[in-house]
Amino acid sequence: MTNAGAIGFRVVLILAGIFIVFTGINTAFGGMLTLGLQGQTAFFEVTDKHSYLVQDSHVRFLGGLWTGIGLLFILASGNVEKYQSVLMFAFALIFLGGLARFSQMQMEITFGKDIVGSLAAELVGMPVLYFWLSRTVKRPQKMFKKEA
């Protein structure tokens, strides 16, 4: 894997991984209020501290998962052949997450300036990376063919 497309893919994977880690850390360590790495944090008032802390714990967990996906992208950039299957699965999961945004049923938010970039990365970028990876890394032929 030495052509320009493969090198470009690795660079994009590293950059995406860094961005994902950055946004993941924001919620993994900041919870629902975030660390403020992506802007203002005072956007709601807690009226039930116990329920808030339960939901905050869930958001921190999801932030940790997101951070892990970013670290996977960075790690896999060093050997995309080895990590091809897991990368393709991660791309598909992120695409599914993008589709889940529509369950909010607030299209003015989903397609608004604060979300549309993420939505485009999830619904357009992930399929592009999926197919780019499948074209960049050819799966090895099976050593033994199944007899008919």
CA nearest 108: which of 121, 119, 97?
Answer: 119
Mean per-residue pLDDT over the chain, rounded: 88
Mean pLDDT of 91-100: 96
pLDDT interval class at 148 (50, 70, 90): low
Tokens at 70, concatenated: 């970013």
Tokens of 66: 């997101």
If 0-12 CB within 10 Å is exposed, 13-18 middle and 19+ buried, where does residue 14 land? Answer: middle
* Per-residue model confidence as pLDDT tens digits over 9-52: 999 999 999 999 999 999 999 888 887 888 777 778 888 899 98
pTM of the full structure:
0.83
Residue 129's pLDDT band, with cuts at 50, 70 and 90, is very high
Q: CA dihedral defined by 87, 8, 127, 120, rounded to 10 degrees?
A: 120
In sign, the C-alpha dihedral spanning 127, 64, 46, 38 is negative
pLDDT at 2 over 70: no
- Per-residue pLDDT, 139: 61
Structure tokens at 115: 């979300």
Percentage above 90 pLDDT, the chain: 64
